[in-house]
Structure 1
Amino acid sequence: MSNSIDALARANVRALTPYMSARRLGGNGDVWLNANEYPLAVPFELSQQTLNRYPECQPKQVIERYAAYAGVSPEQVLVSRGADEGIELLIRAFCEPGKDAVLFCPPTYGMYSVSAETFGVEYRTVSAREEWQLNLPAIADQLDGVKLVYICSPNNPTGNLLNPEDIRQLLEMTRGKALVVADEAYIDFCPEASLAGWLKDYPHLVVLRTLSKAFALAGLRCGFTLANQDVIALLLKVIAPYPLATPVADVAGQALSDEGLRIMRDHVRVLVATRENLIEQLRNCDGVEAVFPSNANYVLARFTHASTVFKALWDRGIILRDQSKQPGLTNCLRISIGTREECDRVINALKTLSASDAPEQA
């Protein structure tokens, strides 16, 4: 029976390698530093008792509060089930399967390729150049037939910001040809670098945001697409009838209140201080070859023997994210910023790895 069911599936889905999220990879640790989550829960109480009714497609309070926070108009905001849904909505609205393509620049977020494959849309890659910046000449050579260019800043998993002048050049070369989609999932850790203020100058710019990171609401699955009204109108044609459950909209509205924003910014200040402390300590650990600057809530580090370190910490209940299979990231591990105590456990574990944990030299 299973073979006959498989035969009914679309060929591209049968061949698809799914995105391996942190939860899908599993583990039995008590220090979870592999999913770029905020380490502590933020308490919210549900206030809406209307679960017998369908929710608004685009909850007015959530839209208005996020627009005010992002510095755009409510007509430029679409709310969805995480920024991941925004990635997919753009492909559904703008890309013809078998005809159009999307482009992105690895090493970067894995859902761009998975979403494109899911919808039978070609994806093209242009590897980042030194310091993980855009390779503009190579992108220009690949733009024919491309409808969406995904860029990620701060980039996941490297943590770097893209050069704003390079982004402007990219926007100029794609004008009238393709949308540039700036994934700003981590922008709340460096809000001064946001491109949201550029929407007035670039009708083909789209910005993706989320409450999963700095707002400590990964379990809520609430994201935002910021774009000019023509783009939003098209996305509203293909979005699900009720993308946000009533409790999700309820909590999101609270998180975007004045008090919610104050709490988020306080948490960001603490986390950034913890991140810088972790970077300093990692640079003093044996077996750490490089620790890269970060503008997000994680740190990328290159180890002499990353697989050994990954397993040794895994066995100690400290779960990190191995990025070694990403282009240019051999022997790199990504470490989410947890509490100060959790980050100290990482450092202590690295310092106490026994000689037996290191591979024998030939």
Structure 2
Amino acid sequence: MPIHGLSSTLPPSKPSHFNIERVIRPNILALHPYRCARDDYTEGILLDANENALGPSISKSTLDEEDQETNPQNLHRYPDPSHDSIKDRIRSLRSVSGVDHIFLGVGSDEVIDLLMRVCVTPGGQEKILITPPTYGMYAVCAQVNDVGIVKVALDLTGEQGEGGSNGRFSLRVDEVKKAIDSDPGIKLVFLCSPGNPTGTLISLTSIRALLDYESFKGIVVVDEAYVDFSGESNSAVPLVREYANLCVMQTLSKSFGLAAIRLGIAIAQPPLIQVLTNTKAPYNISTPAAHLALSALSPSALDSMHAKVRRLITSRGELLRSLATLENLGVGPAIGSNNANFLMVPILSKTEPSKPDNVRAQNVYKTLAEHRGIVVRFRGNEPGCEGCLRITVGTEQENEAVIRELRDLLQKI
């Protein structure tokens, strides 16, 4: 069954064992997408979308001072449903073949949810595969959509990593293949790279191994929310040219510092992008969000983003070294390979100094937040993360504060 809106002249997809029409749910393939007013015309006297012709109820004079640069004059009009100008700047930034390879969502969470809705039939017979410890929204979306979950834990062994970190949490490719062989209902494999909460990269060799695995007829989804903190050479985006069974997710929330506008990105070959486009809400990206995203992708803003990423990477190294000085107070070596804008360290027991201590870590976490004004994240309930606190790399002053308060607190707890 053809995909509505997709050109029939596309070349055959690779790898040869993959057929997207066997992955997408039949009711989605048969879907005629909602056609919104702006799909037809964008200029003229617009009397087609039941908009308020008198304009918005706010103006420059009623905006808060910090919002003065926002132009409210067009807010009574529905936004552009496609946002090709944003996609074109993403295409240029990430060296993507064309805007037809890019989908924009309300954060990566919309992309995750849409992928499940279009690929995995509810009821529990069809499933996704995740590799814990990993981003929690994969499991949440699976439960919301009533689809099954197969878990293949990351390898928790490994040698000492860079900067004194515990270099564990690698992908067990053979175990993922075994899970696929034993459960043909697996439709999506979610890989978080760099991982959250581990900061660990999954090698492109491992990703290729799954993409080329003939027994898997589904889609490999690589979540690259933190990839700019690890180096562009670690991105799976170049593999999209070769593999129709790959979807790479990115976001403006992290390296771009635009978490509040909720703009996520999916990069894949046109058939999957067209299915996502057919299924999304008509105007999912708001005009203010689009305006800010376009500005963030301008050449000068990209220079600023790259400069801030370099600064945060430097601060990450300094924070890692500072945390190592707290070893005698019960802070263990950082866990993972530290390729994101955060670090994760175990808080060790006072009575058994080599053993991570969830109770002590919880105590430190709550005391920091409730009495010291510093909020980190307790991750001790994740597989392989017992006793762990995840600490986002802050400003130089914030990093100094967290070390100072940790040093003082661990002497008392």
Is there any run of 5+ residues in structure 2 with no aligned partner, and where? 1-65, 158-167, 349-359
Amino acid at match of 2:199: G
Within the candidate set 316, 331, 341, 2:387 is matched to 331
Q: Distance in 2 between matches of 1:175 and 1:234?
A: 23
Amino acid at match of 1:232: I
The alpha-carbon deviation at position 47 of structure 1 amounts to: 4.7
Q: Distance in 1 between matches of 2:316 and 2:173?
A: 31
Amino acid at match of 1:62: I
The alpha-carbon deviation at position 236 of structure 1 amounts to: 1.1
Identity of aligned residues (%): 36
Amino acid at match of 2:137: M
Q: Distance in 2 between matches of 1:184 and 1:225?
A: 10
Q: Name the SS for the 2:247 alignment partner.
A: strand
Q: Which has the higher contact order (CA 8 A, sep 6+)?
A: 1
Within the candidate set 301, 304, 308, 2:345 is matched to 301
Q: Report what 1:312 is aligned to.
A: 367
Amino acid at match of 1:136: V
5 Å-filtered alignment, 1:1-362, equals 45-47=69-71, 49-72=73-96, 73-98=98-123, 99-129=125-155, 130=157, 131-143=168-180, 144-173=184-213, 177-189=217-229, 190-285=231-326, 286-292=329-335, 293-304=337-348, 305-314=360-369, 315-353=371-409, 355=411, 357-358=412-413
The alpha-carbon deviation at position 48 of structure 1 amounts to: 6.7
Q: Distance in 1 between matches of 2:105 and 2:387?
A: 35
Count of residue pairs the alignment pairs up = 316
Amino acid at match of 1:331: G
Q: Distance in 2 between matches of 1:46 and 1:64?
A: 22
Give the structure-1-normalised TM-score: 0.84
Q: Structure 1 residues 152-161 or 299-308, which shifts more?
A: 299-308
Give the structure-2-normalised TM-score: 0.74
CA contact (8 A) 1:290 1:303 kept: no
The alpha-carbon deviation at position 43 of structure 1 amounts to: 9.6
**Structure 1 residues 138 and 81: alpha-carbon distance in aligned structure 2, compared to 1, 3 A threshold:** same
Amino acid at match of 1:115: C
Amino acid at match of 2:148: E
Amino acid at match of 1:101: K
**Structure 1 residues 44 and 157: alpha-carbon distance in aligned structure 2, compared to 1, 3 A threshold:** farther
The alpha-carbon deviation at position 44 of structure 1 amounts to: 9.7
Q: Name the SS for the 2:332 alignment partner.
A: strand
CA contact (8 A) 1:287 1:303 kept: yes
**Structure 1 residues 227 and 48: alpha-carbon distance in aligned structure 2, compared to 1, 3 A threshold:** farther
CA contact (8 A) 2:203 2:234 kept: no
Amino acid at match of 2:143: E
CA contact (8 A) 1:47 1:250 kept: no
Q: Distance in 2 between matches of 1:76 and 1:44?
A: 35
Q: CA RMSD in A?
A: 1.7
Q: Distance in 1 between matches of 2:136 and 2:67?
A: 30
Q: Distance in 2 between matches of 1:180 and 1:45?
A: 41
The alpha-carbon deviation at position 291 of structure 1 amounts to: 1.3
Q: Distance in 2 between matches of 1:135 and 1:49?
A: 53
Q: Name the SS for the 2:213 alignment partner.
A: helix
CA contact (8 A) 2:330 2:410 kept: no
In our comparison, the structure showing a higher alpha carbon Rg is 2
Is there any run of 5+ residues in structure 1 with no aligned partner, and where? 1-41
